[in-house]
Structure formats: C-alpha cells, structure tokens
C-alpha cells in the first residue's frame, strides 16, 4: 500500500526534471529485475507475444517445454514492481558459421508511465552482462530510426552503428543495425 503511494508520487513528479534523479534513486529500490525461468511461461506468453509464433494457441505447457529446451540459448528479462511487469528485454543465441557466439538483443520495452527512470538502461545492461557470461562475442540489434531514446541508450552502453536500410514495406521506415562486441 505504502509502496503503491510512493510509486504514484514518483510517477507524477518525474515530469519535473528536478525530481527525476530523486525518482531514479527511489525507484531503484522498488523495482526488481528477474531473468525468467520456465515457470514464468505465462508471463512470457503475455509480454513477449512473438513467442506465440505462427502457432497462435501455444499453451503454457508447450512454452514451458520450449523454454527448458532453449535453456542457455535464450533469456528473458523482466522489471517488476508490486508484482507487475513494467519492462522487458530478451537475448537469443543465433550462431553463425563464422561466429558461433553471435547473439541478438530484442523485445526492449518499458511501459510508458515508467520511462525515464533508468529502468531501460538496467534491463539493457543486465541483458549484455548475461550475454557476455554466456560467451557472446557479438550482440546485434535492429532499431527504427524514430526510436531516439532506445538509440541513445544503445550508444551509451557501447553499441556501434553497422548499417542502415529502408524497410521494404509501404512505410519504407529507416532501420539501423547496431552491434556490441564485449571484447573490443
Ligand atoms: C527505449 C526504452 C526501453 C527506454 O526505457 P527507459 O526506462 O525510459 O530508459 P532510461 O530511463 O534508462 O533511459 C532513457 C534515456 O533516453 C534518453 N532520451 C529520452 N528521450 C530522448 C530523445 N528524444 N532523444 C534522445 N534520448 C532521449 C534519456 O535522456 C535517457 O538517457 P540518459 O539516462 O542518458 O539521460 C523506452 O523508451 C521504450 O520502451 N521505448 C519504446 C520501445 C522501444 O523503442 N524499444 C526499442 C526497440 S529496438
């Protein structure tokens, strides 16, 4: 209850620059970061919709098994407060012939009202740390040009721009590819 009131106050005050650093400090104590286990299949189905894949009605049990099978090859990160998921990210191993330790970062999202409090940066750094511990020598991602806060964070933690291309759809949006190499 008290936690909830505190949270509401922080989310209200974060619009004022002066209070943002204080908000970051306080929220740090109220948010915890979690690497999903197969027991979190339900949360993953809800918050990582692509996991449903072409099989629209994938059950919790099917996904639980899939998560067990992909152990050490895919990790889902969740930021939670008061039992609710407020942010997420994922890393997946995509071995290449020339680099078996090639990973991809994806599903990066912080729910709107919680943005600007450092949760995204934490989720990103947590994913990079886990990828490095898992032997990643290269972590790639793609990002639309208009997602400025995300691009800012990618650069901030050390991602380097590789290339850009226009998506071949009716929007022709500009997409950037970035790479992070822990050993560089
Ligand atoms: C990207 C995202 C996850 C960041 O989450 P967050 O919790 O707000 O992140 P943080 O609070 O840790 O950091 C936000 C950073 O963006 C910066 N930022 C905010 N608006 C910005 C803008 N218009 N241009 C550049 N940087 C901006 C902030 O200053 C802050 O950087 P700083 O800590 O160095 O000052 C969140 O904005 C989001 O969910 N966006 C929509 C989904 C998305 O873009 N996903 C990426 C897909 S590739």
Share above pLDDT 70 across residues of the chain, in percent, rounded to a whole number: 96
On the question of pLDDT at 109 being above 90, the answer is yes
Highest mean pLDDT among 68-72, 114-118, 128-132: 128-132
pTM: 0.92
Domain boundaries, the chain: 1-30, 32-180
Band of the pLDDT at 76, cuts 50, 70, 90?
A: very high
Query: Considering the domain 32-180, what is its CATH architecture?
Result: 3-Layer(aba) Sandwich (3.40)
List ligand 1's pocket residues with C-beta within 6 A: 108-110, 115-121, 143, 147-150, 152-153, 156
In what side-by-side order are the strands of the sheet with 138-144?
Answer: 32-35, 74-81, 84-93, 102-110, 138-144, 174-180, 160-166
The DSSP symbol for 141 reads E
Atom of ligand 1 nearest to the CA of 106: 48
Helix (H, G, I), strand (E, B) or coil at 117: coil
**Token pair of 68 as six digits:** 């067990």
pLDDT exceeds 70 at position 45: yes
pLDDT band, very low/low/confident/very high, at 13 (cuts 50, 70, 90)? confident
CA separation for the pair 3, 7 (Å, rounded): 6
The β-bridge relationship of strands 102-110 and 84-93 is antiparallel
Rounded to an integer, the average pLDDT of 62-69 is: 90
* Average pLDDT in the chain: 91
Counting every residue, how long is the chain?
A: 184
Q: Report percent pLDDT > 90 for the chain.
A: 66
DSSP state of 41: H
**Mutate-to-test residue for ligand 1 from 122, 153, 161, 164, highest number of ligand atoms within 8 A of CB:** 153
């Amino acid at each position: 209850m008290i936690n909830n009131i505190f949270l509401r106050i922080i989310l209200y005050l974060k619009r004022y620059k002066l209070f943002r650093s204080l908000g970051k400090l306080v929220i740090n104590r109220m948010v915890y970061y979690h690497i999903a286990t197969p027991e979190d299949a339900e949360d993953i189905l809800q918050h990582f919709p692509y996991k449903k894949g072409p099989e629209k009605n994938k059950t919790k049990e099917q996904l639980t098994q899939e998560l067990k099978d992909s152990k050490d090859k895919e990790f889902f990160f969740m930021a939670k407060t008061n039992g609710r998921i407020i942010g997420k990210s994922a890393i997946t191993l995509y071995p290449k012939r020339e680099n078996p330790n090639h990973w991809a970062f994806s599903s990066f999202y912080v729910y709107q009202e919680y943005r600007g409090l450092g949760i995204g940066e934490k989720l990103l750094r947590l994913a990079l740390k886990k990828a490095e511990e898992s032997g990643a020598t290269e972590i790639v991602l793609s990002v639309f040009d208009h997602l400025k806060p995300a691009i800012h964070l990618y650069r901030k933690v050390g991602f380097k721009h590789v290339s850009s291309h226009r998506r071949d759809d009716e929007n022709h949006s500009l997409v950037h590819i970035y790479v992070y190499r822990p050993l560089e």
